[in-house]
Amino acid sequence: MKRYFIYTLALVGLMLMSCSAKSGSETTATEAAAAAGNNNKTTNKMTKVKLETSLGDIVVALYNETPQHRDNFVKLVNEGYYDGVLFHRVIKDFMIQTGDGNSKHAGPDAALGDGDPGYTIEAEFVYPKYFHKRGALAAARTADQVNPERRSSGSQFYIVTGKVYNAEQLEQMKGRLVNAAKDNIFRRLVTEHRDQVMEMQKANDQQGLQTLQDQLIAQMEEEYAKSPVSFTDEQVQAYTTVGGTPHLDGQYTVFGEVLEGMDVVDKIQNVETGRNDRPTSDVKIIRASVVKK
């Protein structure tokens, strides 16, 4: 339990950094879509998008339960934003990532991964219904330290390849997810008591800090008990057969899945990579288009 107290002291500084690091570019995807005249409405049928890549075609479906991500993705596709972007980060048995607008004409030594359309998207977690199974389409984002709301990048996304887990490995993974869930609750509670913690630190009130620590830990355990981490039967079935990346569940917005072209995804994940996991020979999206119904 002591690790929470140590973590609290370090977190105060991180919270102050995260507050000052926020920019004014938090336009929502909904606002951006409206400005572009995108009137895509939720229907019973999922929107499909074809990604024509230099290694073959991939067709993805976009979930209606994540409307901001769906509408934003369609808007960018219709604008041609994804035409020519590279798969700039590829990690075998994990995922392939793309969507950096700065990658279109990037030289071989260019540092990639920061490009976006200038806004972020509010997280839309539909968990555990949608999770990081093989073939899942999910939004990339910056780290929790500077992005506690876990807002998604306005354009960057990844497709999960992952690996297959046995029952024992999955149980071990569950344990790590339990710890992560509790840590996330504790982070939020510390943020809510930031001023109180800082005042106690300033006064060197060690007893007060210890008492507050105990209170926050008890509150954390109480909140966690209301929604404990567990894997559904569907998750267990997927992760022990086709595979995926369970440690990302509930932390990144899953907003679609691959319908066709997982063989192409596998071709991409198996290419040779170099510095920063970038393929040594460029792999790109030549053209993205909404599949006409």
Residue 5 pLDDT: 40
Residue 188 pLDDT: 87
**Dihedrals phi, psi of 290, to nearest 5 degrees:** -75, 130
DSSP annotation of 155 = S
Residue written as tokens 């567990």? 230
Question: Which tokens is 65 given?
Answer: 């339960």
Residue 10 pLDDT: 42
Residue written as tokens 């990048």? 153
At the top level of CATH, which class does the domain 17-168+230-290 belong to? mainly beta
Distance from the first to the final alpha carbon of the chain: 55
Rounded CA separation 31/187 (Å):
30
Residue 63 pLDDT: 98
Residue 184 pLDDT: 83
Rounded CA separation 226/224 (Å):
5
Cis, peptide link before residue 128, omega less than 30° from 0: yes
Amino acid, single-letter form, for residue 209: L
Greatest distance between any 2 Cα atoms in the chain = 66
Amino acid, single-letter form, for residue 252: Y
Rounded CA separation 188/194 (Å):
10
Residue 187 pLDDT: 86
Rounded CA separation 19/285 (Å):
35
Residue 237 pLDDT: 96
pLDDT tens per residue across all 293 residues of the chain: 233 343 444 444 444 333 333 333 444 444 444 444 444 443 469 999 999 999 999 999 999 999 999 999 999 999 999 999 999 999 999 999 999 999 999 999 899 999 999 999 999 999 999 999 999 999 999 998 899 899 999 999 999 999 999 999 999 989 988 998 898 889 889 989 999 989 998 999 999 999 999 999 999 999 999 889 889 999 999 999 999 999 999 899 999 999 999 999 999 999 999 999 999 999 999 999 999 87
Q: Note the pTM of the prediction, 2 decimals.
A: 0.79
Amino acid, single-letter form, for residue 195: D
Residue 109 pLDDT: 87
Residue 216 CA: distances (Å) to CA of 98, 187, 197, 202, 211: 39, 10, 11, 19, 9
Q: Which one, of 278, 280, 254, lies nearest residue 96 by Cα?
A: 278
Rounded CA separation 140/147 (Å):
12
Question: Which tokens is 83 given?
Answer: 């035409």
Contact assessment for residue 148 and residue 18, using Cβ atoms and an 8 Å cutoff: yes
Question: Which tokens is 97 given?
Answer: 């990532």
Q: Which one, of 210, 217, 145, lies nearest residue 185 by Cα?
A: 217
Q: Which one, of 264, 269, 279, 15, lies nearest residue 144 by Cα?
A: 15
Residue extents of the structural domains in the chain: 17-168+230-290
